[in-house]
Structure 1
């Protein structure tokens, strides 16, 4: 596991100052009738759980079926991802890392919530929380266990610290028994959390994860 020089400690609120300000602003705008909370929630849900993660899942599925694309993705993720039409703010400088039997990758932003929007949508609340940001570095196996992911002790865990300059995409391992599946079917097995590294890709027939 890689170490990071920042120590955030344990005594942090789930909401940082910026989150509190955003919520206060949302309350004011709602009271004045400028926004409809239900519509806003639906919009956020679309970007957080549908549009963004779907894009990343297609990138992963292409890497699973196309060795040349996989090599390109690992060598120049920004260009490879852009070739599929996924570009934009928060995705200008991408790095892809691939899980294997020997090594598992997990992404965190220890300072704030840097996140690859074009391929993963909006970051989930837990990704932005201080407990995740600090524990992912100090106790990655414990964090993975919280997500139901238990790895062999022989598997090394590497933590990647996302920044304003570089954002990461984890390529989860392709599940066994999927040799007969096409790209679209494979993409359905790739969850947002598996591309952050907190979970594994779904096995065929397994319920979809976030």
Structure 2
């Protein structure tokens, strides 16, 4: 009698969320993953690490000229003091958008990205199309993100590496004088810190 080698109970479900849960269960049951450690990682990236960290730094740069100068000169001592230093953020460089210069960040080799400040990179940042095109035709890519710039604005493309990662300081929106740093941070978007967007005029 032929033996049926198919075991439906071990097949991964089609839905990505269910597949992840199935893999998580399998790894935990085999003792390869500590559930408490997994929960801590999820908690960290869901609530402690993400664009809100970078937004707070940008808002403080907008509000405090001395802090701004320090971050543009050598941000690492300040980031360490703020506990925003760690894996994927060992060496940061901040580049500032102005009326004449617009900066945009890419990693042409893989997906190097400042996790402690921006969290996990979006899918499009890791895509071959973005990585290849933004170097060759940055204005066209920016247009696709809804970023229209004057012809005389210089576009600078910064290539992140395993050694150095970049964060764009977007221009402060007009008519935001007197706002608190918390209110200013709410205007700072993830895309604006990559260079593929502007800070929000309103929230």
What residue number does 2:68 align with? 70
Contact 1:44-1:122 at 8 Å conserved across structures: no
Q: Which moved more, 1:50-59 or 1:176-185?
A: 50-59
Q: 1:33 aligns with which of 5, 22, 25?
A: 25
Q: Which moved more, 1:56-65 or 1:46-55?
A: 46-55
Q: Distance in 2 between matches of 1:98 and 1:50?
A: 25
- CA RMSD, 1 decimal: 2.6
Stretches of structure 1 lacking an aligned partner (at least 5 in a row): 1-23, 206-210
Contact 1:115-1:162 at 8 Å conserved across structures: yes
Contact 1:189-1:204 at 8 Å conserved across structures: yes
Alignment of 1:127-142 (within 5 A): 127-142=125-140
Q: Do the aligned partners of residues 35 and 193 (structure 1) sit closer, same or farther apart at CA in structure 2, a change above 3 Å counting? A: farther
Q: Distance in 2 between matches of 1:50 and 1:137?
A: 32
What residue number does 1:164 align with? 162
Q: 1:91 aligns with which of 89, 107, 115?
A: 89
TM-score (norm 1): 0.76
What residue number does 1:181 align with? 179
Q: SS of the residue aligned with 1:34?
A: helix
Contact 2:49-2:115 at 8 Å conserved across structures: no
Deviation at residue 32 of structure 1 after TM alignment? 7.6
Q: Distance in 2 between matches of 1:188 and 1:50?
A: 16
Deviation at residue 143 of structure 1 after TM alignment? 0.9
Q: Do the aligned partners of residues 48 and 139 (structure 1) sit closer, same or farther apart at CA in structure 2, a change above 3 Å counting? A: farther
Q: Distance in 2 between matches of 1:48 and 1:157?
A: 33
Q: Do the aligned partners of residues 157 and 32 (structure 1) sit closer, same or farther apart at CA in structure 2, a change above 3 Å counting? A: closer
What residue number does 1:119 align with? 117
Who wins on radius of gyration, i.e. which is larger? Answer: 2
Q: Distance in 2 between matches of 1:126 and 1:204?
A: 25
Stretches of structure 2 lacking an aligned partner (at least 5 in a row): 1-15, 29-37
**Higher relative CO (CA 8 A, sep ≥ 6), structure 1 or 2?**
1
Deviation at residue 66 of structure 1 after TM alignment? 0.3
TM-score (norm 2): 0.79
The count of aligned residue pairs is 176
Deviation at residue 146 of structure 1 after TM alignment? 1.0
